[in-house]
């Protein structure tokens, strides 16, 4: 059962004056450098299409019928972030060593634009757009090495705030003041927006589950939701022992079609393996999916996959072994697998790159496809649900093996998707 905020949180609040999104020098060991509020009107773009962690694009495109635009960035691409440009799209490409450069894709061509930049190695990028050139959001000096910041937009005249996990496991909410929640957060975790101003993340870390598929053997045991407007912890709910949350970020989406968000997680233990667990927006556990065998389940995206247009969850069961794409439906208090199809690998063992697929109407036929790397990772396959199950309808061949996240955004009247393969990036826009 979830525990309410009055029983949960221990925090300290420190004033941060005169800061900006750009890093500043530390004033003391007790006051690490921090980033404050972004300027009004600034938008932020992540390695997944939505701050909720969901990866389904709105609108429609004709990617099936276009040739990719391919370009060679500086270094092997690890992370891609896409955002709309005045015409076409712009792509920030970050290599594993932190080198970053930006490309403008339009009219079938890619042009390198802006000034090359860099981030600390293995940092997950966030791109800020607004007035002037797009910029990489600088991680605060105290942020954990593999964490990623999240910007909570302001409202009613309030400034936006920056949320991140510090090296010591605290969750930090930074604005004109910096608030720390001592929650022992997952050091490589990412927050997910609930869509109502609150954010979810995994906390209370443990090493009792030694699978190590996601970069290390540290996993969260508590699902925590914070309201940065207060700021305050809203609720927490814990699993195990022996279970843990095997994932870096919750996925938030309306899975049952009632208009309210659910929080999708993967719960695992050494005896049974992994299964999908769905929680309500107030922390109640709604449903748990079936256990197949020991191994991981990679939760990908929620979209209107069902033949009747109802929302379903796309998951790859054991992407390193079984390579099976599953579609789940939440109904009548149960979470059922309603279709499966084999032949997909959305993750490389040991990698923290979990944005392994996107979904959308990529061939403008009125139905949504999941665009998923094949088992050999040399193509993206468009998988569509039907009354008889699920099947591959078409493929986008690649010029190498997938090495980055699969990124995508909606543009005016079209969609765009990109992926890094070896030394190049391929972008489909149409």
Does residue 18 carry a pLDDT above 50? no
Tell me: the pLDDT tens digits for 196-222? 999 999 999 999 998 888 878 899 999
Report the pLDDT value the prediction gives residue 14, as an integer from 0 to 100.
Answer: 35
Highest mean pLDDT among 10-14, 18-22, 410-414: 410-414
Tell me: the pLDDT tens digits for 56-82? 999 999 999 999 999 999 999 999 999
- Domains for the chain: give ranges and CATH numbers: 43-429 (2.130.10.10)
Residue 50 DSSP symbol? S
- Name the one residue in this structure whose structure tokens are 């969750």: 171
* Confidence bin at 19 (pLDDT 50/70/90): very low
CA distance 218 to 146: 13
Does residue 164 carry a pLDDT above 50? yes
CB atoms within 10 A of CB 230: 13
Q: Map residue 139 onto helix, strand or coil.
A: coil
Report the pLDDT value the prediction gives residue 156, as an integer from 0 to 100.
Answer: 75
Report the pLDDT value the prediction gives residue 1, as an integer from 0 to 100.
Answer: 56
Pairing verdict, β 232-238 and 3-4: antiparallel
CA distance 427 to 430: 10
Does residue 25 carry a pLDDT above 90? no
Give start and end residues of each alpha helix (H) in 133-176: none
Contact at 8 Å (CB) between 56 and 311? Answer: no
Give percent of the chain above pLDDT 90: 80
CA distance 45 to 128: 7
């Amino acid at each position: 059962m979830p525990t309410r905020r009055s029983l949960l949180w221990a925090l300290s609040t420190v004033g941060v004056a005169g800061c900006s999104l750009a890093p500043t020098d530390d004033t003391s060991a007790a006051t690490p450098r921090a980033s404050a509020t972004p300027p009004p009107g600034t938008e932020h773009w992540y390695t997944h299409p939505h701050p909720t962690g969901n990866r389904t694009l709105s609108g429609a495109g004709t990617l099936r019928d276009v040739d990719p635009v391919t370009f060679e960035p500086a270094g092997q691409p690890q992370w891609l972030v896409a955002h709309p440009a005045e015409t076409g799209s712009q792509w920030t490409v970050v290599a594993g060593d932190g080198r970053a450069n930006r490309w403008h894709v339009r009219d079938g061509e890619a042009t390198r634009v802006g000034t090359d930049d860099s981030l600390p190695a293995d940092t997950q990028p966030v791109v800020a757009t607004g007035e002037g050139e797009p910029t990489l959001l600088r991680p605060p000096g105290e942020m954990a090495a593999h964490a990623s910041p999240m910007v909570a937009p302001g409202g009613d005249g309030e400034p936006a705030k920056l949320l991140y996990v510090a090296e010591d496991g605290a969750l930090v909410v930074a604005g004109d003041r910096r608030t720390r929640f001592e929650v022992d957060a997952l050091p490589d975790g990412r927050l997910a927006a609930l869509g109502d101003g609150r954010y979810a993340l995994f906390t209370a870390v443990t090493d009792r589950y030694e699978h190590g598929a996601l970069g290390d053997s540290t996993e969260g045991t508590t699902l925590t939701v914070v309201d940065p407007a207060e700021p305050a912890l809203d609720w927490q709910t814990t699993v195990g022992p022996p279970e843990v949350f095997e994932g870096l970020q919750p996925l938030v989406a309306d899975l049952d079609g009632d208009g309210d968000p659910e929080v999708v997680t993967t719960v695992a233990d050494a005896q049974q393996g992994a299964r999908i667990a769905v929680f309500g927006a107030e922390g109640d556990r709604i449903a748990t999916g079936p256990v197949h065998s020991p191994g991981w389940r990679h939760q990908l995206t929620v979209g209107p996959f069902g033949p009747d247009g109802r929302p379903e969850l796309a998951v790859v069961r054991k992407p390193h072994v079984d390579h099976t794409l599953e579609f789940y439906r939440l109904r009548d208090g149960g979470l059922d697998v309603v279709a499966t199809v084999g032949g997909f690998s959305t993750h490389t063992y040991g990698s923290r790159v979990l944005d392994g697929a996107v979904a959308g109407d990529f061939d403008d036929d009125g139905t949504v496809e999941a665009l998923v790397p094949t088992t050999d990772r040399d193509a993206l396959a468009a998988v569509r649900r039907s009354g008889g199950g699920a099947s591959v309808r078409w493929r986008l061949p690649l010029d190498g093996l997938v090495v980055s996240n699969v990124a995508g955004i909606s543009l005016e009247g079209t969609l765009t998707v990109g992926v890094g393969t070896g030394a190049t990036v391929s972008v489909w826009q149409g």
